[in-house]
Amino acid sequence: MTKIQIPYGSRLMDVDIEGKLLDPDPEGSRSKGNAKEQDVIKHALENPIGTKKLSEIVNAKKNGKIIIVVDDHTRDAPTEKMLDALIEDLGEEHREKVTLLVACGTHAPPTEEELKRVLGKHFYQFNVLIHDCDAKDLVYLGTTSRGTPVTLNRNYVKADVKVLTGDITLHYYAGFGGGRKSILPGISSREAIKKNHALLVDDHARTANIENNPVHLDMSEAASFAHPDFIINTVADAAGNLVDAYAGDMNSVFLKGAEVAKDLFCRETGDLFDVLVVSAGGFPKDRNLYQATKAVENCYRAVIPGGKFILVAECREGIGDPYFEDWMNEYASYEDTEDAIRTNFVLGGHKAFYMRKAMKRVRLSIASELSTHILNRWGIEAYNSVWKAVEEEKNIKDNVKMGIVKNGLDTLLVPTIKGR
């Protein structure tokens, strides 16, 4: 046996299991190595793609109001460092014009402590607004060609200079996070988000794909209704090391970052596994099951049909979404959830769609702090020990081929054998 450490909540869990490590090779990372993150971010601001420098844009607006959109507490972007560089680039004379807007989409608003973790010292230095997707004063700007009503945060729409921040990583139906996602879903209405996300049943709406992806295309069209003046996005590898930062025009930055992210996060396996042990990546990625299910979607295709998928996710906040829980209770099959998505889309229900889709292929087990009763009712095996889940499988079958992923939210397994 080889002892490995698997992220679980805020700690690393020591596990004695034998298997093939499948996370992208850190040695092959494009990480900037010894370069300071702050220097990498500053370099991006000094060399924007497709726009003038931010300072030039702001100076041309004279006394205009500046809004900077930041990721909420469920993301892992280096927000404080990006804000450090942005504020320095703007200069002291423009500080009083800056407002920070937290892009929550439909997520619950962050607590004060969570905001302090995300923003650091900037929490105390600037006016901080939290987007509410149900606010009465959202501004309608038009409807996309796919029928999504573009209704956005009023403070963003009315700002003279609009800046987006964020990170570009895998997303299981938008292809990649980052760029346009700061607007839709980030600062959009609940109705807009529901309309957009209902497009996920399309076969092109999948992880690491933006070609003919209706979710991505709809997001991009919606963002064009209130195009940002400037964005900065970062890309980090699966170990959390900054790979690079890109700034300037939204579409140009997103496409550049997505190209790099795809190279970083996609791992061709060449094999299918009898058992796959996948950590969501620890806190905050495994804060609840709603977030952690992304790891299942990213990796389950590398398991043989009928094989075992073991998700390792603490889920200290429980299931994380009442609609997700309701749909898992109500719809017991993939076919049922697909019908519900097409006829009565509800945010949160889409997580049940992906869970049931994976469960059609694999036997799903979860090692977590979640209720055993709830998981068993859904047809999921519940464990408080990864080792126990693995040992049970070894008792059933000899010579078990096992794979291990330490950061499932940032690893897309791509089996290359035929007939998968």
Which residue do the tokens 């804060």 mark?
Answer: 287
Tell me the C-alpha to C-alpha distance, in Å, between residue 263 and each of 76, 230, 237, 397.
19, 25, 10, 35
Cα four-point dihedral sign 18, 313, 219, 162: negative
Q: How far apart are CA 354 and CA 153, in angstroms?
A: 29
Of the candidates 73, 94, 122, 171, the residue annotated as catalytic is 171
Which residue do the tokens 């010579």 mark?
Answer: 399
The sheet carrying 127-130 orders its strands as: 127-130, 98-103, 66-71, 161-167, 230-236, 242-248
- For residue 414, count CB atoms less than 10 angstroms from its CB and return exposed for 0-12, middle for 13-18, buried for 19 or more: middle
Tell me the C-alpha to C-alpha distance, in Å, between residue 299 and each of 27, 280, 410.
21, 10, 10
| Diameter over CA atoms, the chain | 72
Q: Which residues does residue 49 pair with via DSSP β-bridges, in sequence order? A: 248
Cβ partners under 8 Å of residue 118, min gap 6: 70, 71, 72, 73, 79, 80, 102, 110
Strand 303-312 and strand 363-367: the pairing is: parallel
Cα four-point dihedral sign 266, 178, 316, 241: positive
Cβ atoms of residues 305 and 328 within 8 Å: no
DSSP annotation string for 177-201 = -SGGGGTTTTTB-HHHHHHHHGGGG
Q: How far apart are CA 413 and CA 420, in angstroms?
A: 12
Residue 122 is a catalytic residue: no
Residue 131 is a catalytic residue: no
List the one residue out of 37, 23, 99, 25 whose CA is nearest residue 68.
99
Cβ atoms of residues 383 and 1 within 8 Å: no
Positions marked catalytic? 107, 171
